[in-house]
Structure 1
Amino acid sequence: MSMPAMRTVYGTLLNFRGEFDAWAPKMNEAPYKAPPKAPVLYIKPANTWSADGAAITLPANVPQVEVGATIGMVMKGGSEVAGYVLMNDLSVPHASFFRPPVKFKCIDGFLGIGSRLRARNEAGDPSVFKLEVRINGELKQTVRFADLVRPADRLLADVGEFMTMAAGDVLMLGCDVGRPLARAGDTISISMPALGTLTNTLIAEAP
């Protein structure tokens, strides 16, 4: 299935049980003083998008990045999903997920996007999806989407309570804890049989 023109890419925080539990002790602290009741979203704008196979440049002041292997739901419009695509939501390591700083998550090139869109009716149940993350060929992480706080359909329904998803919008399901770190010179591969492999190589910024 060919990839439609993308419109806006939304990331989802705290949607893996491990990540949610890791931050739970701080959720009752200021400023929020309670766990979030709705999905916590952020945007990966067009300047961050990198195609499968593209080199991604690390700024000179960024020695390493977190690899955020995830799956994006690509929308037909409203609550209808066209299909699923692999994504690598790169981020500079930082200490808080309550207000994700733009400067850490929205650097040029910091979202790898797979070239294969698998139609929803062909991909099966997202709760059984499993991704493997390799850096330079070595397995570093396995991401199981059975561990989501909000499974795909519920996440989409809950987001629909406060915003409308248009055709070409993409909603990422979230990133698990244990995200591996990568540096300039590393090649990152994220794979799942139904969705193929997303590969990007990190390169250092030219002096």
Structure 2
Amino acid sequence: MNLVTFSADGKQHWGVTAAGGVLALSPEFPQWNTLRNVIEAGAILRVLKAGQGRPASHPEGSFTYDIPIPDPEKIICVGVNFPDRNAEYKDGQDAPPFMSLFPRFARSFTGHGQPLIRPPESPQLDYEGEIAVIIGKAGRRIPEVEALSHIAALTLCNEGTIRDWVRHAKFNVTQGKNWDRSGSIGPSAVPFTDPAQITDIALETRVNGELRQQDRTGRMLFPVARQIAYISTFTTLVPGDIIVTGTPTGAGARFDPPVWLKPGDTVEVSAEGIGTLRNGVADE
């Protein structure tokens, strides 16, 4: 049973997955407007218990998935975090001693099953399959040995990118990473209970069924615990914050010639124990 945020009949709900659909629990807990509030209250186990053994309130096809945490204070993405990804840049440099980071805004993501949106300003919409961690416990200067205890849940991310716009400035990729609904997060938030859920699991991305990206989290240049420790050095991490942990080699920009996403394509991001995030592509 996982945590979900979804929309039905013009209203957003949160709840849990159930056989054949989802179960809305937000009406039963009006004190918590979103899953971010549930996490802030330390109430994940209470919510899961409330949904245990109950049927779906909304069967598949009667709702649309939203990103699991619709109102995070911040989303921070880690770039160039796999060995082969660093080699893709062909600049002769070793892996950097510190991680590359950039922000994304919640509006730049859509939910599972919804199309990624290609803007009219550029055809260079690309995919990046990643695992995202949702922070459950606030902290500043978190020691690496304690970092994983600050995770509430795991989810998946397609960190969709408008490639030519990441090169508009010398050191800044933010404008290529924040087009409305150019990426996706979901389908659900998987409660985090064991370090084995993230330490060394397989991550894959497929486009129209073709395997494009494949690696394991155990090969990350900067493991998740180090990401949390490093990021929390300069900013306080709070419940509901999302860290997007890095993508393997194989994005469309690295093909010769590049292969961009186009309307009609289907992108699937999968990870062991977390599930599959699936999105089509449509023009704005």
* Normalised-by-shorter TM-score class: 0.7 to 0.9
Indicate conservation of the 8 Å contact 2:153/2:192, yes or no.
yes
The structural deviation recorded for 1:36 is 5.2
C-alpha separation between the residues in 1 aligned to 2:195 and 2:110?
Answer: 23
Q: How does 1:1-207 map onto structure 2 within 5 Å?
A: 1-3=2-4, 4-5=35-36, 6=69, 7=72, 8-23=74-89, 25=91, 37-76=97-136, 77-78=138-139, 79=147, 80-94=150-164, 99-122=171-194, 124-180=196-252, 181-205=260-284
What SS does structure 1 have at the residue aligned with 2:193? Answer: helix
C-alpha separation between the residues in 2 aligned to 1:183 and 1:90?
Answer: 12
Q: TM-score, normalised by structure 2?
A: 0.63
C-alpha separation between the residues in 2 aligned to 1:24 and 1:161?
Answer: 31
Indicate conservation of the 8 Å contact 2:161/2:176, yes or no.
yes
- Percent identity (aligned): 23
Q: TM-score, normalised by structure 1?
A: 0.84
What SS does structure 2 have at the residue aligned with 1:41? Answer: strand
Relative to structure 2, which stretch is displaced further, 108-117 or 16-25?
A: 16-25
Provide runs of 4+ in structure 1 moved above 3 Å. 21-28, 35-38, 94-98
The structural deviation recorded for 1:131 is 1.8
Relative to structure 2, which stretch is displaced further, 83-92 or 15-24?
A: 15-24
The structural deviation recorded for 1:125 is 4.3
The structural deviation recorded for 1:112 is 0.5
If each structure's helix is expressed as a fraction of its own residues, which one has the higher value? 2
> What do residues 143-184 of structure 1 show as CA deviations (whole Å, max 9, x unaligned)?
322221111111111212211111000011112222134222
Relative to structure 2, which stretch is displaced further, 79-88 or 18-27?
A: 18-27
The structural deviation recorded for 1:37 is 4.4
What SS does structure 1 have at the residue aligned with 2:181? Answer: coil
Q: Which has the higher contact order (CA 8 A, sep 6+)?
A: 1
What SS does structure 2 have at the residue aligned with 1:155? Answer: helix
Task: Calculate the aligned-residue CA RMSD, in Å.
Answer: 2.5
